[in-house]
Structure 1
Amino acid sequence: MAGRKRSIRFKIFAVLLAPVTALAVIWALTAAITLTSGREYLRVGRVYEHIVLPSRAVLTELQHERLMSVTYLGGSSSFHADLDAQQKRTDEIAAGLAGHAVAGREAAPPALWDRVQELLRQLDRLDSLRSQVENREIGRLDALTQYSEIAEVGWQVYDRMMIAPDLDLIGQTRAVVMVGRAREIVSQQSALLAGTLGTGRMSEREQEVFVEMAAKRSMLYSLGFTDLEGSMRDPYVKLNGSAAYLDFVKLEGAVRDKIRPEAALPPEAGRWQATAEALSITLDKLGGQASVEIGNRMQPAVMTVLIRLGVLAVVGLIALVVTLLVSVRFGRRISAELGALQNAAVDLSDRRLPDIVRRLSRGDDVDVRAETPPVEVPGNTAEVATVTNAFTSVQATAVQAAVGQAQLRQGVNKVFLNLARRNQSLLHRQLGILDGLERQTEDPNLLEQLFGLDHLTTRMRRHAEGLIILSGAVPGRGWREPVALFDVVRASVEEVEDYLRVDVNVPHHAKLVGPAVTDAIHLIAELVENATIFSPPHTRVSVHGDLAARGFVLEIEDRGLGLNSEEMAAINARLADPPEFDLADSDRLGLFVVGRLAKRHDITVNLRPSPYGGTAAIVLIPAELVVMPDPAEIAAAERLVPAQPTEAPVLSPVSGRHGAGPKPTAETNLPRRVRQANMAPQLREEQGKPDLYSSFQAGWRRAEDDKA
């Protein structure tokens, strides 16, 4: 199925719409990405304010509480006022984190929000842990472990945080977090040693944990320091060379290497708290500076994104508007040019060329140069100008081809007409000779052969007239007076080779006007011949006729194989509107002839399936061509001719050249005939001219023989 047709303007705008839409989409996507980046920076600022800073404060207070709790468990004193005060501070900071988390809920990523909620749930465990510490129901190492687990959840908040869309800032932030985790290990080490100072000894498990802490701290600090770059790295380079860091590393190694299970702590352990506290303070200070620097780096990035967004929005909008204006203007211009070219093509195909063909069909002379003026299309598009020039050449070629075809068709028609006229003249002369021989001979066998030759010549004359009709001319023979339709049908049947198979049942009183007789005989003969050719030889072909409201109807019905619906529809279309004769389609000359004759007299010919399986041809002769005689003439015709149908064309008063009795034999005397004595007056010919129905003789004679 063909797709829906679109106009040139629509297709041009469709072509232009694609790049314009792509530009608009790209601009929208770029603006959206830039806007998203700006919103991401702003969101990170809210996360830093409402989650990062409060979480850091909670971790700091939690580290202090852990140190004081493990120290309390390592001593023998029951005084814990300082520990109570620290616990209150931790609760206050935790409550602040809960309030800030609500404010930063929309800005926090889902993973970060889940970690914050988990941290708040872990902080709720502090009451139970504190109770165990105050009642000394938990060991130092277990207390240290539980406090560290809560702190670990806080550090996981940092792990889930994307501080900025900038990958460099993300890397630096993770490096600072790892250094902060190293500082957490230092706090754990301090708590562990603080708990053992009271007894001066460290259990084997505590020693293993301390060794693991030392290794973990060294690894985290090394990884974080390695990832730091530029100004973020410089402060930690100075720290690595400072006396505080070097003293701590030396003290950590001495404690790690010199203690033994269940042995006394080395003397250096007494300096641990002061050394670790100094390092912790330095690390906290550097961590705060790093956070500030990260925030400072984010501000220019935010401004850059916002400026970029503004510029992109303005420039993109301007580009989009300009593109639309240029596209619309270009589209209108090219559409106008192509529309003008289209109008010229439509004018040529729908008006000028058909008019030229009609004029050529009438035989008018056509000036090709005058009929093919150059096509002018306003505009300066090179491709359209090239197509316009090509179209100008094409229209000249098309008109020249039409003229050539018309001249060729006229030449072929002249050849047809010339040959047909010559054949017609020769056949008339031959019919005259045969008529003379038939009247002169009394030998029945020879007379039978002459009748057969007479019939064959009549059919040859019909084929010659077919060529005349195809050439557009009119056969020369005709009548001035009306002829009975019964006689017309009988004359038509007699021009068919296998006429003995045809049954005729047509009333005798209706007549056909004289000018239409010749063409009607030819038309009916072609249809009857088709019926006999395309049906089995043992079947009958019937011709029925009767008056109708719109004229006289003849029905020619065979009992052959019939036609399929597609072929029948195609034939009916050609009969209703006969096309120009195609020399390549010579197998269907009869259809062209029938169509031409029917159109000439407004006769309607239509094929339809027959109830017997064959095909029925319905011929409607318009009322203007039918003449009804007086009632007296009708009564006389009914008395003279029986109403029953005949099985074959039998003898009737139509042709005076046939006797009314059986076929003469050698023993009987041939009747002396008077030429045209019994012929209908309107069918008689002038003296000396050949009889139109001379071919009836052989037919009548053979029919009588069959009946006898």
Structure 2
Amino acid sequence: MIPLVSLVALWIFSASLTVGDAFRLLNASTVYSSVGEPAHALATEIEREYLLSAQYLASRSDVDRSDMFAQRAVVDRARTRMRELVADGDAESMLIDASRKPYEDMKNAAARLDTVRMEFDAGQLDLANLGENYETFPDASQRFSVVAAMGTVVTTAQQGRSLVSIAGAQHVLAKERALVAGVLGQSRTFTDAEKLRFAQHVTTRRVLFDQGMNELDDELRAPLDVLAKSEAYRQVTNLEDRLLQGEVTGQVSPVLWRSVVDRVDNAYTNALSKAGAVYNARNEPAAIGVFVRAGAAGLLGLVAVIASLIISIRMGRGLTRELVGLKEAATELSDVRLPRLVQRLRRGEKVRDVEAEAPPLEPIGSTGEVRDVAAAFSAVQHTAVEAAVDQARTRESVGQALRNLARRSQGLLQRQLRLLDAMQRRTTDPSTMEDLFRLDHLTTRMRRQAEGLIVLAGGSPGRTWRRPVPVADMLQGAVAEVEDYTRVRVYPMSEAAVSGSAVADIIHLFAELIENAAAYSPPHTEVSLRGESVARGYAVEVEDRGLGLSDEEIDAINHMLASPPELDLADTDRLGLVVVARLASRHGVRVELRPSPFGGTTAIVLLPATLLAATGDDDPEPVRLGIPEGAGT
């Protein structure tokens, strides 16, 4: 009871010290990534839509109208991303009470944006009330940021609120920019309502900026001092004063206004970014403090454990010797005998006599409890061996069933492809030909899925080539098996050919990598394929321009690609990469992921020299493409 009571008391003490702060830090990070960051991005895009709407309201030109509708599409994508991130995470439950009202205001403002657009298109909004309708979401986002800064657990909360205040000044500058752009675009003076609103914006911006600057310390104020003393900032202040005095028509140029304000807005962004980096660096001691407290609790725990060990040693020397012997026998069982048996089963060897493979542990010592534990270990061993044998049989039967089903599907798809080829040769109507190409492409992708199932089940696809195939043609064949093939570009590359026996597997390997690159990158970006001969074979790079992966994710995936795992039917998130790993292992191909200079991910595939065939005078065997000729090049 003495060790039990001391350890329970230690657990309560350490939990009370560390869990609360740790969860608050974790929740703050989750809320920022799921709500704060996408909300800030959406607010920025809405402010730009407000500006373009004001310009169109002033000019009514087709160019400004086109820019406005293009920005609406950007805003819709940012709004969809924010909703998806909030839905995928659990950020709503982590909000502090004070931030729930601004969060609900943001949701309502985002939902009302479509109504604002309809009212604008119907001519129901003028320049004076346009900002009131467009700025509801940015205003709510700003209030949410202020509340989040006030609710932080770090000791530098005051400095954080000052930075948020300066960020609010930048937010108000965006309102000024749109309002004045609309007035200058019409070459007129302010109405009374517009002048009042502009004066409010100017006063608010200056108060927020000056208040934030006064409360910042020297280190955080340094990058913002550069902004405050810049020529562009002086020009903005001068233009604001002139506009407040009534100088608009013919005296303040729209181009000058936009140019100066855009420079100041960029300077705001750069200064806040630098100050934010300094501020975030200061927050690290708070996290270190959590770990220090955890270390203190661990030290106290070590003292309690040592005291418990002294009491236990004095009371049970004889029992310890028996337990050591039991431990050695159990260690041999867990580290030697069972792993050796599992390896044999994985290699496909048959185990017929479970008793011979799992003999019971010999009774150790004279203590009845220890002998009972030895008997329990023997029973566990026997059960584990039986379970492993049954699992191996089940895995083999499941693999066989999957291979049979996949080969049947593969056969039907091959027949369908031949039928489509015949129909394409007989068809002259362009519309019908386009539909046939789409169906052909869909069938080609279905065939790849069936072949992937065969690979996962331990089999080999039935497709073969008699002659070597050039690498460029092989890559075009892989592109043809990808859904979004129009985004894939195969760049010119040095000549090389792959042996016909490996062509089907290598096409499938590249198709899985290209599909993965296209699926995890924006739809307007390109997936690039480049290849060249190297000292040990032929290297091909598959590069996307998506968001990329973290270093931990890249290391985990590269480890999986180097050591293909067993098929886990419960884990279907990365079956394509499992297929790549198995095909690469089968032919000695090396596949490795690396960060791309464009921010995405680059998959480097090294085809060994043993797979390459000499290019002769014979015509290479063609690779069938399920896409219109020339697509993807």
User: What TM-score, normalized by structure 2, do the two folds share?
Assistant: 0.49
Q: Please tell me whether Structure 1 or Structure 2 has the larger radius of gyration of its CA atoms.
A: 1
